[in-house]
Amino acid sequence: MHDLLVDLANLARDERLGGVDTADWARVDRVLSHWRAHLNPHSNWLLVADDNLARDFGTAEARDRWTQLVRSGELISAPDADPVLLERARTTGASVLSHDGFVGHRRRHSWIQGDAEHFFRWRVDQGDQLAIVLEPMRVVGDYTMTRAAEKDERKARGFGTRDLVDGPLAQMYRCVNPTCRASADDLLQVMPVRVSGRVACPECRRPVVARGPRPPGRRLKLLLHEQELDVVQLADGQQLVLGRGPGPARWDVALLGADTSKISRDHVRLSIRGGQVVAEDLNSTNGTGLARWSPSRRAWEPAQKLLDPTTLLARDRLELPGSLVVQQSGLRYVVPDVQ
């Protein structure tokens, strides 16, 4: 049974620990012998790493050590190490040695939020003294989690942040492979993937056809009693009315039942202008509340009645009667799904 899971890439690449190569065993040995000397003399650890870390070790000897550790079961290597490491941590309760906050994994691994007993970090001070400390995990909001998850996703699919602005992710695509279920949509609703340098469908991995520039957009989440009900993706110039009753560009709250009886027929309009969400109360009977996020307090201010059309900031919440809430997601790759 392992009591410690080591984020090997994080540790082997940390230049503050000395060593010369991009990835260096000297760093790993230094920190793990400190762990054994000061934290747990009987520790039985497991190293976890991405497959591609192997080639960052500079010498044939260092790469041989990798191979031997994999063979002996002391090192697990996977295409994407983080989910493997976190799943083990969750099921075994082992500690984790890493500098990563794993923010992008927190929707799946909610146990990380505020955890104050499992995550350890190493520190090197100016006199080159090493210390290993327990690091309580900060609780992060949904917006931050979504954004971090998308960043991880983007990396896994072969794209960088620049690609969103002026690269392949600034375009929209269509899958034209008739045997692929993604081809049913006029526009690919999910982020494409890079396969052998070409932009491809994540379902069938065949090249996709560009369908023009992707307009700036936002993804909105509708929550009822803090449970996510639906997500709506809107692009610049599009709008959505929340209210009672069906229709184009409307979200019919009557479908939710009794909870929403205080919501007006035309309650609030959400539109995207210049990539920002603008909210406008449509003279609703019971009004719409706007709760602004306070970065200094890391909490929402009490809701104020929405009087004029207002541009929402990233983490603001719109509160409708009956515990219906609208929030933005941190997603940046947004393809409109409302015409």
By beta-carbon proximity to Zn ion, the closer residue of 201 and 222 is: 201
Count, residues near Zn ion per rule CB under 5 A: 7
Is residue 200 part of the contact set for Zn ion (CB under 5 A)? Answer: no
Q: What are phi and psi of 209, to 5 degrees?
A: -105, 130
Least distance in angstroms from the C-beta of 181 to Zn ion: 8
Is residue 132 part of the contact set for Zn ion (CB under 5 A)? Answer: no
Tell me the residue length of the chain: 339
Considering only the stretches 30-38, 64-72, 199-207, 289-297, report the one whose residues sit in contact with Zn ion under the rule CB under 5 A: 199-207
Is residue 263 part of the contact set for Zn ion (CB under 5 A)? Answer: no
Among 182, 235, 312, 318, binds Zn ion (CB under 5 A): 182
Q: What are phi and psi of 225, to 5 degrees?
A: 50, 40
- Work out whether the CA dihedral 244, 250, 253, 254 comes out positive or negative: positive
Is residue 239 part of the contact set for Zn ion (CB under 5 A)? Answer: no
By beta-carbon proximity to Zn ion, the closer residue of 182 and 268 is: 182
Site residues for Zn ion, 157-176, by CB under 5 A, read 175
Least distance in angstroms from the C-beta of 156 to Zn ion: 18
Is residue 199 part of the contact set for Zn ion (CB under 5 A)? Answer: no
Q: What is the spatial distance between Cα 98 and Cα 47, in angstroms, rounded to a whole number?
A: 11
Specify the DSSP class assigned to residue 190: S
By beta-carbon proximity to Zn ion, the closer residue of 116 and 184 is: 184
Is residue 190 part of the contact set for Zn ion (CB under 5 A)? Answer: no
Is residue 177 part of the contact set for Zn ion (CB under 5 A)? Answer: yes
Least distance in angstroms from the C-beta of 179 to Zn ion: 8
By beta-carbon proximity to Zn ion, the closer residue of 148 and 182 is: 182
Least distance in angstroms from the C-beta of 177 to Zn ion: 5
Is residue 84 part of the contact set for Zn ion (CB under 5 A)? Answer: no
Residue 325, beta-bridge partner list = 223, 319
Report residue 8 CA to chain centroid gap. Answer: 22
Among 39, 130, 140, 180, binds Zn ion (CB under 5 A): 180
Considering only the stretches 15-23, 128-136, 182-190, 219-227, report the one whose residues sit in contact with Zn ion under the rule CB under 5 A: 182-190
Least distance in angstroms from the C-beta of 185 to Zn ion: 10
Q: What are phi and psi of 235, to 5 degrees?
A: -105, 170
Q: What is the spatial distance between Cα 132 and Cα 123, in angstroms, rounded to a whole number?
A: 6
Is residue 187 part of the contact set for Zn ion (CB under 5 A)? Answer: no
By beta-carbon proximity to Zn ion, the closer residue of 208 and 320 is: 208
User: 């690269």: which residue's tokens?
Assistant: 167
Query: Burial level of 145, CB count in 10 A (0-12/13-18/19+)?
Result: buried
Least distance in angstroms from the C-beta of 219 to Zn ion: 22
CB 323 within 8 A of CB 224: yes
Report residue 79 CA to chain centroid gap. Answer: 18
Q: What is the spatial distance between Cα 7 and Cα 120, in angstroms, rounded to a whole number?
A: 11
Cα radius of gyration (the chain): 24
Query: Burial level of 53, CB count in 10 A (0-12/13-18/19+)?
Result: buried
Is residue 203 part of the contact set for Zn ion (CB under 5 A)? Answer: yes
Residue 145, beta-bridge partner list = none
Angle at 40 between CA 38 and CA 43, to 5 degrees: 135
Is residue 113 part of the contact set for Zn ion (CB under 5 A)? Answer: no
Is residue 224 part of the contact set for Zn ion (CB under 5 A)? Answer: no
Is residue 331 part of the contact set for Zn ion (CB under 5 A)? Answer: no
Judged by the rule CB under 5 A, the positions of this chain that interact with Zn ion are: 175, 177, 180, 182, 201, 203-204
